[in-house]
């Protein structure tokens, strides 16, 4: 008996036991589909997270300092360091965050992120102004109470960016004049705490407001993403000279965070894939169960076939192929179902989710493998049946 005949026989047997075959496949279908859905959705979601993260600037690094009375890095020292490496760094700004409430008349905003930066912050963020002017070096020097605001703040407090320029906003009671408004960042949502809800003031003013002369945080932007490692090393070397203790400062490159984020994503999808894989295993046990039932149910058939001259290997082949074909069909249906659900769920959640080829290949081959593996035991049992006993069974 050739393989082709065995395949035909298997298909025939599957077709003539439609209900039972379908139930067997169901486990595989669900298993394969869940692997594909989980892995694809996680990948889709994570890649959108990574995209957001990347837009925050992978060429940036944040420096955090713990300034002691004996050892401290001053703003001047940081600027000197920055000035010495114009080939590496594109922008630099001290970063002073202020927790503040914005008020204009009776309107107030509490979730706005308020920070003190240098004039280079706009370029560092890669933003453009909608209207007005940026914070200028002169503002830093003379500690002018001016601010640059996000689109949301302008829209909430003034109605439009045009109306905002030149007006004043009270930040923790201090009046600031709006110098400029940044272009809208988020095209979809304009919401509280979103990427358009911010207010920048000169860092010199911010330190005064927060009543601490020290600046604990700086943001550097490198000219090229490839230089981040070198820049980080250089910064750390410079800071060690000052502090002599690497517990007192920390340099965090966004690209590093991206790397670790990617690592976490890989781990997470592997974990979820593994969990879904368990369902595949359960499906395999299901295949084994049904095949065992099938062998028991078909004992007489096996007896007849054996009496007519079927060899052990022939019977074995018949059952193994049947199991493999059943699980392959289940696998294919599972892939189709998985792809369909992934597409629908992705568009519902609002992420770009497509079945990854890896997930498809792995889940399909695992399902076929499981069919073979778990089909083997019942097949072996069928092959070993004694023809006399098998013929006698009802």
Partner 1 sequence: MEAHQTAEAHQTAEAHQTAEAQQTETHQSEARQTEIRQAELCQVQARQGSILIELKNIEKIYQMGEEEVRANDGISLTICRGEFVAIVGKSGSGKSTLMNIIGALDVPTSGEYFLGGEDVSDMEEDELAGIRNKMIGFIFQQYNLLPKLNLLENVELPLLYAGIPARERREQALASLERVGLKEKWRNMPSQLSGGQQQRVSIARALAGSPSLILADEPTGALDSRTSREVLNFLKKLNEEGNTIVMITHDSSIALEAKRVVRIHDGKINFDGDVNDYAAIL
- Residue 109 in contact with residue 192, Cβ under 8 Å? yes
Give me the 371-390 binding string for partner 1, x by CB under 8 A, dash otherwise: ----------------xx--
Q: Which residues fall within 8 angstroms of residue 289, CB to CB, at 6 or more apart?
A: none
Residue 296 lies near partner 1 (rule: CB under 8 A): no
Q: Closest CB to partner 1 among 97 and 393?
A: 393
Question: Binder to partner 1 among 74, 264, 307, 347 (CB under 8 A)?
Answer: 307
Estimate the share of the chain in helix, then strand, then coil, as percent rounded to the nearest 5.
60, 15, 25
| Distance of alpha carbon 42 from the chain centroid | 7
Q: Closest CB to partner 1 among 277 and 303?
A: 303
CA distance 172 to 102: 7
Q: Which residues fall within 8 angstroms of residue 358, CB to CB, at 6 or more apart?
A: 39
Residue 313 lies near partner 1 (rule: CB under 8 A): yes
Question: Binder to partner 1 among 173, 308, 348, 357 (CB under 8 A)?
Answer: 308
The CB-side HSE value for 23 (13 A sphere, CA atoms) comes to: 10
Question: Binder to partner 1 among 42, 305, 338, 359 (CB under 8 A)?
Answer: 305
Read off the tokens for 229.
Answer: 């490692």
Q: How far is the CB of 335 from partner 1 (least distance, A)?
A: 29
Q: Closest CB to partner 1 among 308 and 348?
A: 308
Question: Binder to partner 1 among 143, 208, 250, 300 (CB under 8 A)?
Answer: 300
Nearest to 315 by CA among 391, 218, 385: 385
- Residue 42 in contact with residue 265, Cβ under 8 Å? yes
Residue 311 lies near partner 1 (rule: CB under 8 A): yes
Q: Which residues fall within 8 angstroms of residue 96, CB to CB, at 6 or more apart?
A: 115, 116, 117, 203, 206, 207, 210, 215, 217
Place of tokens 């499906």: 283
Read off the tokens for 16.
Answer: 């003539």
Stretch binding partner 1 (CB under 8 A), from 122-130, 269-277, 302-310, 353-361: 302-310
Cα 99 to Cα 111, 180, 198: the distances in Å are 9, 21, 12
Q: Closest CB to partner 1 among 13 and 34?
A: 13
Q: How far is the CB of 321 from partner 1 (least distance, A)?
A: 15
Other C-beta atoms lying within 10 Å of the C-beta of residue 264: 12
Read off the tokens for 374.
Answer: 């778990």
Residue 310 lies near partner 1 (rule: CB under 8 A): yes
- Residue 172 in contact with residue 127, Cβ under 8 Å? no
CA distance 165 to 175: 14
Q: How far is the CB of 378 from partner 1 (least distance, A)?
A: 19
Q: How far is the CB of 21 from partner 1 (least distance, A)?
A: 13
Question: Binder to partner 1 among 54, 304, 337, 339 (CB under 8 A)?
Answer: 304
Residue 261 lies near partner 1 (rule: CB under 8 A): no
Q: Closest CB to partner 1 among 280 and 315?
A: 315
Question: Binder to partner 1 among 16, 70, 99, 106 (CB under 8 A)?
Answer: 16
Q: Closest CB to partner 1 among 217 and 314?
A: 314
Question: Binder to partner 1 among 152, 306, 325, 362 (CB under 8 A)?
Answer: 306
Residue 20 lies near partner 1 (rule: CB under 8 A): no
Q: Closest CB to partner 1 among 5 and 183?
A: 5
Q: Which residues ranging from 314 to 353 are in contact with partner 1 (CB under 8 A)?
A: 314
Stretch binding partner 1 (CB under 8 A), from 11-19, 25-33, 239-247, 317-325: 11-19
Other C-beta atoms lying within 10 Å of the C-beta of residue 356: 18
Binding stretches for partner 1 (CB under 8 A): 1, 5, 12-13, 16, 300-301, 303-314, 387-388, 391
């Amino acid at each position: 008996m050739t393989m082709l005949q065995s395949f035909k026989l298997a298909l025939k047997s599957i077709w003539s036991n439609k209900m039972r075959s379908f139930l067997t496949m169901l486990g595989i279908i669900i298993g394969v589909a869940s692997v594909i859905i989980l892995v694809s959705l996680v990948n889709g979601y994570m890649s959108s997270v990574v995209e957001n993260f990347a837009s925050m600037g992978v060429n940036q690094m944040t420096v955090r300092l713990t300034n002691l009375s004996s050892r401290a890095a001053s703003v001047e020292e940081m600027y000197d360091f920055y000035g010495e490496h114009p080939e590496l760094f594109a922008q630099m700004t001290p970063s002073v965050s202020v927790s503040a409430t914005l008020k204009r008349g009776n309107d107030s905003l509490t979730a706005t992120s308020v920070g003190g930066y240098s004039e280079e912050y706009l370029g560092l963020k890669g933003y453009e102004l909608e209207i007005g002017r940026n914070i200028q070096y002169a503002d830093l020097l003379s500690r002018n109470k001016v601010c640059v605001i996000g689109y949301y703040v302008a829209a909430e407090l003034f109605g439009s960016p045009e109306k905002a320029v030149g007006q004043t906003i009270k930040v923790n009671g201090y009046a600031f004049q709006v110098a400029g408004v940044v272009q809208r960042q988020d095209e979809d949502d304009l919401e509280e705490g979103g990427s358009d809800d911010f207010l920048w003031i000169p860092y010199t003013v911010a330190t005064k407001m927060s009543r601490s002369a020290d600046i604990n945080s700086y943001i550097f932007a490198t000219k090229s993403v490839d230089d981040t490692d070198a820049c980080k090393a250089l910064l750390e070397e410079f800071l060690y000279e000052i502090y002599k203790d690497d517990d007192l400062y920390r340099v965090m490159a966004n690209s590093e965070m991206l790397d670790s984020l990617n690592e976490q994503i890989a781990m997470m999808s592997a974990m979820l894939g593994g969990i879904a894989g368990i369902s595949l295993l359960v499906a395999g046990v299901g295949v084994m169960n049904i095949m065992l039932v099938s062998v028991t149910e078909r004992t007489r058939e096996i007896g007849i076939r054996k009496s007519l001259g079927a060899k052990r290997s022939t019977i074995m082949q018949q059952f193994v192929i049947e199991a493999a074909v059943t699980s392959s069909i289940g696998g294919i249906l599972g892939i189709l179902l998985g792809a369909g659900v992934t597409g629908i769920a992705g568009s519902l959640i609002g992420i770009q989710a497509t079945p990854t080829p890896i997930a498809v290949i792995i889940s399909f081959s695992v399902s076929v493998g499981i069919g073979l593996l778990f089909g083997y035991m019942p097949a072996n049992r069928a092959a070993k049946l004694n023809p006399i006993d098998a013929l006698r069974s009802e």
